[in-house]
Amino acid sequence: MPESPASLAERVLYTARVQATGGRDRGTARSSDRSFDITFSVPGLCGSGSNPEQLLAAAWSASFLSSLKLVAAQMGVGFLYEPAIDIEIDLCTRGGGRFLQTRISVNLAGLDRQLSETIVDGAHELCPFCKATRGRVNVTLSVA
């Protein structure tokens, strides 16, 4: 049996604990500390909840932004304007199965294109969500 990721870690910085029930159609998810409590709805249908793709996009964008800021700081680059990220996650089908694909568009206003692309490439290598999906989810990066 392969080792679990925790056993490979030098140090665990944080552990998220969430319990979900019911799935996409009116299911729920709640964190153990109760700071996160949502209802799911089916993507593309009217509903009062969020869907897993939206939640993934929100989490991924926050992680990518943090990675951008870390890479820029390591390079000694400051931002004139707050960086912005637009993430689109598609739920797709092929051959009877489902899969995800995503587009990440980054706006680093005030920086030249080459420097922006270098920072974005570095963030893509550093971001835990990018690492977790690398080779599994098609990701298209662009600099606005």
Task: For residue range 70-123, list pLDDT tens digits in order.
Answer: 999 999 999 999 999 999 999 999 999 999 999 999 999 999 999 999 999 999
Q: What percent of the chain has pLDDT over 90?
A: 78
Starting at the edge strand that comes first in sequence, how are the strands of the sheet with 138-143 ordered? 84-94, 97-107, 138-143
Confidence of residue 42 (pLDDT cuts 50, 70, 90): confident
The residue extents of the domains of the chain are 5-39, 52-143
Mean pLDDT score, 11-24? 92
pLDDT higher than threshold 60 for residue 131: yes
H helix or E strand, kind and range, residue 49: none
Q: CA-to-CA distance for 3 and 21, rounded, in angstroms?
A: 28
| pLDDT attached to residue 4 | 63
What's the pLDDT at 82? 94
Q: At the topology level of CATH, where does 52-143 sit?
A: GMP Synthetase; Chain A, domain 3 (3.30.300)
Residue 3: predicted pLDDT = 58
Q: Are 19 and 32 in contact (CB under 8 A)?
A: yes
Please state the rounded mean pLDDT for residues 8-33. 91
First to last CA, the chain: 44
Confidence band for 45, pLDDT divided at 50, 70 and 90: confident
Q: How far is residue 19's CA from residue 8's CA, in Å, rounded to a whole number?
A: 24
